[in-house]
Amino acid sequence: MTNKPLKIVLFYCANALDAAALRKSAGETGEDDIKTVSLPCSGKVNLLYLLKAFEKGADGVVLVTCHHGDCKFIEGNLRAQKRAEAVDALLDESGMGRGHMRMIQKNTENGVKQILKEIENFKTEIRKG
Amino acid sequence: MIVAERKSIPDLVDILKDHQKILVLGCGTCVTVCLAGGEREVSIISSALRIASNIKGLGFEIEELTIERQCDNVFIEEAADAINRNDAVLSLGCGAGVQALAERYAKKPVYPGLNTSFIGILEDRGIWAEKCAACGACVLHQYGGICPVTRCAKQMLNGPCGGSREDRCEVRPDRPCAWQLIYHRLKDIGQLGRLTQIAPPKNWEPGHGGGCRVIVREDHRI
């Protein structure tokens, strides 16, 4: 998988990120295929959303949530984290191994560029296997 | 309700590896409520199996369906077409559902996708606990509605074992001592006097020790 372009699906809370800026910046990340999926709250995500991304060929899935304590719906990001962990475990059971599911918390310090940098690190880890 | 847990994906792959066209069949009753085998879990398990199949090159072709109730022939009929066009069925029903399907479709392999665990209730979000051992001779009236057969690890019928710490069971410290609960419950309903009555040895014959149990209602057999 060293040189192959990666397929990444990025689910993000619309309250945490500026969708237009994200799409613009995500479009500048080279040959890798990054699909973005907006959610009204990261708590909207469920196991099936994430698993379907992998079933359709994603090498990695990123879930961007609000910082803990900042969720507009109180506990949406906490639910999202539990679900991301469950999917990571299920992928391990399915033979894909752990580490293909990454959750990134948005806070005041990390803007879109910082998040994209974290995605780059995530892609490097996937490539290393 | 009947509470169950899904088998691990490696176990399911091992069970299904000799088949290609597989129906993952959910049940809309107990196992839906305990989040083990309803429509959503059918989709999740099917998706995980497809991922495993892609990685291992197993060639699974998985169809998904959920019916109202797997332990009843009337509802099983709704799955007839899907069962017939697949090589095998992975049932996400309880053990009764799996066997009802196997009896109805004698030449079709039917496999369990869940481990049926116990009769219980939802205690808190994501926590199910056993409440009934289906012993066949209910004694709940004597114990304020708290079952010592199921909820006391030692099945003590004449008072606590003496090993509990604070209000915790010594065998399962994560669970409350059933006898502590029984005492408080009987006190609350003004029936503490029941504790002075000695319970004779319980008749275990109606329980599972006597083999497979059958109930016959002649008034319904005409």
Per-residue pLDDT reduced to its tens digit, B1-20: 999 999 999 999 999 999 99
Contact A48 B43 (CB under 8 A): yes
Identify from A1, A9, A90, A98 which residue to disrupt to test chain B contact, counting B C-beta atoms within 10 A and taking the largest count.
Answer: A90
With a CB cutoff of 8 Å and minimum separation 6, the contacts of A32 are A5, A6, A7, A8, A123
For residue B200, name the pLDDT band (cuts at 50, 70, 90): very high
pLDDT at site A43: 95
Q: What is the bridge-based pairing of β-strands B2-6 and B114-124?
A: antiparallel
DSSP designation for A29: S
Would you say the C-alpha torsion B7, B9, B10, B14 has a positive or negative sign? positive
pLDDT reading at A44 higher than 70:
yes
Per-residue pLDDT of B113-145, as tens digits, reads 999 999 999 999 999 999 999 999 999 999 999
For residue A3, name the pLDDT band (cuts at 50, 70, 90): low
User: For residues A1 and A124, is the Cβ–Cβ distance under 8 A?
Assistant: no
Contact B47 A51 (CB under 8 A): yes
CB nearest A93 (choices: B43, B48, B56): B48
Cα separation, A120 vs A126, in Å, equals 10
- The model scores a pTM over 0.90: yes
Q: What is the bridge-based pairing of β-strands B61-67 and B21-27?
A: parallel
Q: What is the ipTM of this complex?
A: 0.90
For residue B153, name the pLDDT band (cuts at 50, 70, 90): very high
User: For residues B143 and B188, is the Cβ–Cβ distance under 8 A?
Assistant: no
With a CB cutoff of 8 Å and minimum separation 6, the contacts of B2 are B30, B31, B34, B94, B96, B116, B118, B119
pLDDT at site A2: 56
pLDDT at site A85: 97
